[in-house]
Amino acid sequence: MILLLPPSEGKMPGGEGIWRPSEGAFGAALGAARRQVIMELPETADQSLKVRGNTALHAQEVNRRLKRAPALIARERYSGVVYQGLDYATLPAKEKRTATNSIVIVSGLMGLARFGDLIPDYRAPMDARLPKSGNLATFWRPHLQQVLEGLARRHIIVDLLPQVHRAAVDPVGRWLRVDVVDSKGSGGHAAKFAKGRLARWLLSHGPDEIESWRDDNWRATVR
């Protein structure tokens, strides 16, 4: 199983060493595209990055430093609501190994990154518009397709992405598009947390009975 998750806006700061775009599980295939994004992000408008005030200042700083940025493992870098629901630190050892092997993050900077890949701090929403390359989702789609086709030959792909990230991928092979729905009509942070809880469940149960998952008022739908 390959479990596609979005990145999070919330990220732990810092790291060690120097991150290189050609590193990681998909660096050989996506390194050149990552370097293009790195060149344009410092020139991308704050409005397109969806930041302002102190958040904009931080985004400008980390995006300028990407060529020599310190790195953290993805599972340590992302700290947003989905990853709080996943709660990797409390997983049993077997499920931690499954997470490292299965989770692939669809990212505006990285394109694709495995859960154990080193990544820098950055700001690159998938619907941002770069000065030359345009919309990031449209930019990434052809670069990601060949990699995803290779993964789909060996794995079921479980897509837990929001719509903005789904715009960067084209389903191929046995591809399950999964959404979490709530009988009370809740959304926002609650939906993101539920998505993390579903991802956690999948690490131990697999995708075959995904529609049997329940968490409080949340359930999964597949299409």
The helix (run of H) or strand (run of E) holding residue 96 is helix 93-102
Spell out a b/e string for 173-188, using b for 16 or more CB atoms within 10 Å of the CB, else e.
eebbbbbbeeeeebee
Q: What is the pLDDT of residues 1-27, one digit of tens each?
A: 999 999 999 999 999 999 999 999 999
pTM of the model: 0.96
Phi, psi of 157 (to 5 degrees): -105, 120
d(CA 191, CA 198): 10
Largest CA distance in the chain: 47
Q: What is the pLDDT of residues 128-161, one digit of tens each?
A: 999 999 999 999 999 999 999 999 999 999 999 9
d(CA 161, CA 198): 12
